Amino acid sequence: MFGNSDGGRGGRDLDREFERGGMDRRGNEYDNRGYGAGQNNRAAYGEHAGEMESRSAVYLAKVMGWMCVGLLTTVVTAMAALTMPAVWNLVFGGPGFFVVVIAQFVMVIALSAGIQRMSPATATVMFMAYSALTGLTMSVFVLIYDIPSLILAFSVTTFVFLTMSIYGFVTKKDLTTLGRLAFFGLIGIIAASLLNMFLGNPMMDLAITVVGVLVFIGLIAYDTQNIKGIYQQATASGYDEYSDEVRKLAIIGALKLYLDFINLFIMLLRLLGRRR
C-alpha cells in the first residue's frame, strides 16, 4: 500500500501559491524563504529567524498531532474489523476489499487535488475517513504476522520517523534533490511490485522492500522540511496561524507524514516480521 504515488505529496497548487515570492498582503516584499527582503540588519534578521523557527516548531507539532489522530483512527478501525464479524465480512467477503482500496486512492486524489476548494472541516473529515479505510485494509496484517513482530515494526518505524523528521526540520541543507530521488524511487518500487505480482520472485520482493525502506526514510526528511518551508512562506504572505489556508496546509502536511509513516511501517514489517 503506497497511497497515491504523488497523492500524499498533494496540495501542490496550494503550495505554489506561497512559493512564488513577491508581495504579501501588507504590501511588503519578501523572498521565497519567507523572510523580509528589506531586512538588512543582522540582529533584526536573527531575531526574526529565531521567532520563525519557534513558530514553525509549534506548527509542525500541530501537523504531527493530526497525523497521530489519523494513526489512532487507523488502529481503532483495524481493531473494529478484527472484533466485529459483520465488518470483517463486509470488507473481506467478495469484492469489498477491492472497493475499499479503490476508495482509498480516490479519496487521496480528491483531497490532494481539491484542497483549494475545500473548507478545513471538509479536508479534516476526508483525512479521517481515509485513515479509517486504511485501518480496514491493514487489519489483515494482524492475521499474517505475530504480535511481537507488529510491535517491533511499529517501534522501529516510530524511532526512524522521529529521527528523520527532526533532521528534516533542523537541517539547513536543501533536501529537494533527496525528495526527487525518493519520488522516482517510489515510482520504481510501485512498478516493480506490480511486476512481481506475476513473477513471484522472493529476491525481487526483498529488494523492493529494502529500497522501499530507504525511499520512505528519505521522504520523511524531505516532507518535514517541505511542510516547514510552505508554512513559513504562507505566514510571510500575510496568512495568520488560524486562517483557512494554513489550516488546510496542516491537513495536507499530516496526510503526507501519515503516508510516509504507514508505508515505512509496512516495509519494515515485511522485512522484520515473522509470519504466523
DSSP string for residues in 167-218: HHHH--S--HHHHHHHHHHHHHHHHHHHHHHHH--HHHHHHHHHHHHHHHHH
Q: What is the pTM of this model?
A: 0.82
State phi, psi for 179 to the nearest 5 degrees: -60, -40
C-alpha cell, 122: 471538509
Instruction: Answer for the pair 91, 97: CB distance below 8 angstroms, yes or no.
Output: yes
The number of angstroms, rounded, from the C-alpha of 113 to the middle of its chain's C-alpha atoms is: 15
pLDDT given at position 91: 82
Amino acid identity of residue 200, one-letter, is G
The DSSP output letter for 30 is E
Sign of CA pseudo-dihedral 218, 219, 225, 226: positive
pLDDT given at position 240: 80
Instruction: Answer for the pair 142, 241: CB distance below 8 angstroms, yes or no.
Output: no
The DSSP output letter for 114 is S
**Cα–Cα distance measured from residue 18 to residue 34, given in angstroms and rounded to the nearest whole number:** 9
In tens digits, the chain (276 residues) has pLDDT values of: 665 444 444 455 555 555 444 434 333 444 444 444 444 555 444 555 677 788 999 999 999 999 999 999 999 999 998 888 888 888 887 787 888 889 998 998 988 888 888 899 999 999 999 999 999 999 989 888 999 999 999 999 999 999 999 999 999 999 999 999 999 999 999 999 999 989 888 999 999 999 999 999 999 999 999 999 999 998 888 888 778 888 999 999 999 999 999 999 999 999 998 887
**Cα–Cα distance measured from residue 111 to residue 248, given in angstroms and rounded to the nearest whole number:** 10
Sequence-distant (6+) residues with CB within 8 A of 82 are 88, 139, 142
**Cα–Cα distance measured from residue 91 to residue 137, given in angstroms and rounded to the nearest whole number:** 8
Whose CA is closest to 121, among 250, 260, 259, 261? 250
pLDDT given at position 11: 52
Burial (CB < 10 A; 0-12, 13-18, 19+), residue 242, is exposed
> Which helix (H) or strand (E) element contains residue 271?
helix 244-272
Instruction: Answer for the pair 174, 228: CB distance below 8 angstroms, yes or no.
Output: no
Domain residue spans of the chain: 7-11+39-272
**Cα–Cα distance measured from residue 60 to residue 214, given in angstroms and rounded to the nearest whole number:** 23
**Cα–Cα distance measured from residue 8 to residue 4, given in angstroms and rounded to the nearest whole number:** 6
**Cα–Cα distance measured from residue 221 to residue 130, given in angstroms and rounded to the nearest whole number:** 23
Amino acid identity of residue 196, one-letter, is N
pLDDT given at position 48: 56
